[in-house]
Amino acid sequence: MKEIKIDSEFITLGQFLKYVDLVSSGGEARDFLNENEISVNGENENRRGKKLYRNDLICINDEQYKIC
């Protein structure tokens, strides 16, 4: 599991995807969300505006991340 440190109260899923270098733009984030299996805290998620908070668990194609 990779731990991702944030300095703000939350980040959006689209920002997260850019932060971990999976995409480089919002348009790519939209396509990435449509083409990959992503869950946040065990729930399937495809909204790039979904807010991620500390201790949230994100799973992308069997790769796990934790917001710290």
DSSP letter at 42 equals: T
pTM of the model: 0.89
52-60 long-range CB contacts below 8 Å, 24 or more apart? 52/6, 52/10, 52/11, 52/12, 52/13, 52/16, 53/9, 53/10, 54/6, 58/13, 58/16, 60/22, 60/36
Mind listing the pLDDT tens digit for each residue in 17-50? 999 999 998 889 999 999 999 999 999 999 999 9
Long-range pairs for 24-29 at CB < 8 Å and ≥24 separation?
A: none
CATH number of 2-67, picked from 3.10.290.10, 4.10.220.20, 3.40.50.2000, 3.40.50.150: 3.10.290.10
Looking at the predicted structure, is the pLDDT value of residue 54 above 90? Answer: yes
Structural domain boundaries in the chain: 2-67
| Ordered DSSP codes for 43-58 | EE---TT-EEETT-EE
